[in-house]
A = this chain, B = another copy of it.
Amino acid sequence: MVRQKTQIRKIENLAARQVTFSKRRRGLFKKAQELSTLCDIDMALIVFSATGKLFHYPSSSMNQVLERHRLQSENVGELQQPSREMQIECRKSAMLSKELAEKALELRQMKGQDLQGLDIKGLDKLEAILDSGLVEVVKTKGERMLKEISTLKKKEAQLLEENAHLKQQLAMMDTSIGQMGIHDQCCDHHSLELTISSLSSRVPPQNYHISSSDTCLKLG
């Protein structure tokens, strides 16, 4: 029953803390209200309970007061409410920038630039990495080229076969036309392409695969 002099430090007892919060919060809001009325001033009071509940007292509109505070802070130079997301985003950006800078330096060093920052040990390590990278790249390139060569050879064989086939067809055509007594200039087949194109409409089953011959033979 005897009231003690209140120590201003966190009340450890949860129940007591909640009771005190409830009482003092009311008191505080009352005081705020009184100050606002008595002295005719704008103010904002925002309180969060431990359970996350929000209490606020706005003398005028809360937003107006907050906006006014924001502007004032800006003028004073303090950065304005950067918002948690903003801070997170900024930190993220900073981290990414740092990583990017590191990777960029690593890349430049692998390309033989900016080596002044490395000691002999570092250079040796870099050399080893480049060596193994180079080995891997050369190996992969070799495999890729072998594969390409084999593919191209297959295509060549296929085309040769196709070609032979077409020539055979041509010869047969020639014979038939000869038997029909027609000796036209267009059938002198001084040009293979011309002959093929003029035949294509008449012998569709045989012109398959011709379009696949556009594969180009590029070798670095």
Interface residues of A (CB under 8 A from B): 6, 8-11, 17-18, 20-21, 24-25, 27-28, 31-35, 37-50, 54, 56, 63-73, 76, 79-86, 89-90, 92-93, 96-97, 99-100, 103-104, 106-107, 109-113, 115, 118-121, 123-124, 126-127, 129-138, 140-141, 144-145, 148, 218-220
Task: Given contacts A9-B38, A66-B81, A123-B141, list 12 more A-B pairs with CB under 8 A.
Answer: A6-B38, A31-B31, A43-B47, A63-B81, A85-B86, A93-B93, A112-B134, A121-B218, A130-B130, A130-B133, A130-B134, A131-B134
User: Are B90 and A96 closer than 8 Å at their CB atoms?
Assistant: no
User: Are B120 and A145 closer than 8 Å at their CB atoms?
Assistant: yes
8 nearest A-B residue pairs (beta carbon) = A112-B136, A96-B96, A124-B220, A21-B39, A123-B141, A120-B220, A112-B133, A103-B103
Instruction: Quickly give the copy total for this chain.
Output: 2
User: Are A41 and B32 closer than 8 Å at their CB atoms?
Assistant: no
User: Are B46 and A65 closer than 8 Å at their CB atoms?
Assistant: yes
| Complex A-B: 10 CB contacts under 8 Å | A20-B38, A28-B28, A31-B31, A66-B81, A89-B89, A111-B133, A112-B133, A113-B136, A120-B145, A123-B144
**Chain B residues within an 8 Å CB radius of A107:** 103, 106-107, 110
Bound Cα distance A193, B66 (Å): 77
User: Are B127 and A138 closer than 8 Å at their CB atoms?
Assistant: yes
Provided the pairs A111-B133, A137-B123 are in contact, do residues A63 and B82 lie with their beta carbons within 8 angstroms? Answer: yes
**Chain B residues within an 8 Å CB radius of A113:** 136
Bound Cα distance A21, B50 (Å): 30
Closest to A127 in B: B137
